[in-house]
Amino acid sequence: MTTDPLQEVFIFPLNTVLFPEGVLPLKVFEQRYVEMTKACLRDARPFGVCLIREGREVGTAAVPEPVGCFATIESWDMPQLGLFHLVARGGGRFRIREMRVASNHLISAGVEPIPPDDSGHDVEPLCREVLQAIIEKVGAERFPSPLRLGDAAWVGYRLAEVLPLEARAKQELLEMTDTAARLERLRALLAQPGLAAARDEA
């Protein structure tokens, strides 16, 4: 029995959770991430975005959560030397299996891609209604096109990224591999008083 080789990526630990197809604007100024950006642009390769478990975004290498999301640079600009403005798009999810930290504190890892979610489930009605209300309020241009309100995985990811949840809760939703279970968890979160405003939009 053979196992697939791990995919090698740079890891960008952030205080945010990136979901598949999500949009991530970034200002990159630390030298290690400037070098990472140049390498990803040169080789047309993604980097990995992980929520920070311990540490900070700047300075020494932070400890990332083991499950993250591939990010592909869709557009970039360098308004001044040593500063990149990026727009990255979330791809598939991955799990870190091996990790190394370079002398400049840039993290690279061998990662195992996580299979895509099954979109064949029925969309939980409240989740769809709340997301549709949010889209109508903030504008469809803020969401990946085309809108797929009949796609259970798409609805779950979009609702998870736009609801005002703690980063830890968003990470838990990212890590879930059962689409129906993610929507059920979101429905339960929408029932909590703290998210009443989002629920009432629907």
Same domain, 84 and 130: no
Tokens, residue 40: 């990803």
Number of domains making up the chain: 2
Which domain-ending residue is among 70, 85, 114?
114
Check residue 56 and give its pLDDT: 84
Same domain, 15 and 83: yes
DSSP β-ladder status, 47-54 and 7-14: parallel
82 φψ region: left (φ > 0), alpha (ψ -120 to 50), beta (else): left
DSSP 16: S
Domain around 158: 125-201
Check residue 2 and give its pLDDT: 45
Check residue 200 and give its pLDDT: 56
Same domain, 13 and 54: yes
Same domain, 50 and 98: yes
Check residue 3 and give its pLDDT: 60
Cβ neighbors of 48 (< 8 A, separation 6 or more) are 9, 10, 11, 12, 68, 69, 70, 71, 94, 96, 109, 111
- Give the CATH number, domain containing residue 45: 2.30.130.40
Classified as helix, coil or strand, 42 is helix
**CA–CA separation, 14 and 53 (whole Å):** 9
Same domain, 43 and 109: yes
Does residue 1 lie within any of the structural domains?
no
Check residue 1 and give its pLDDT: 44
- Give the CATH number, domain containing residue 163: 1.10.4060
Same domain, 80 and 148: no
Tokens, residue 116: 């895509």
Check residue 144 and give its pLDDT: 87
Same domain, 107 and 11: yes
Same domain, 78 and 165: no
What count of Cα atoms within 13 Å lies in the side-chain half-sphere of residue 65? 23
Does residue 2 lie within any of the structural domains?
no
8 Å CB contact between 65 and 109: no
Which domain-ending residue is among 114, 136, 161?
114
For the chain, residues with pLDDT lower than 70 are: 1-3, 119, 194-202
Does residue 172 lie within any of the structural domains?
yes
Same domain, 22 and 98: yes
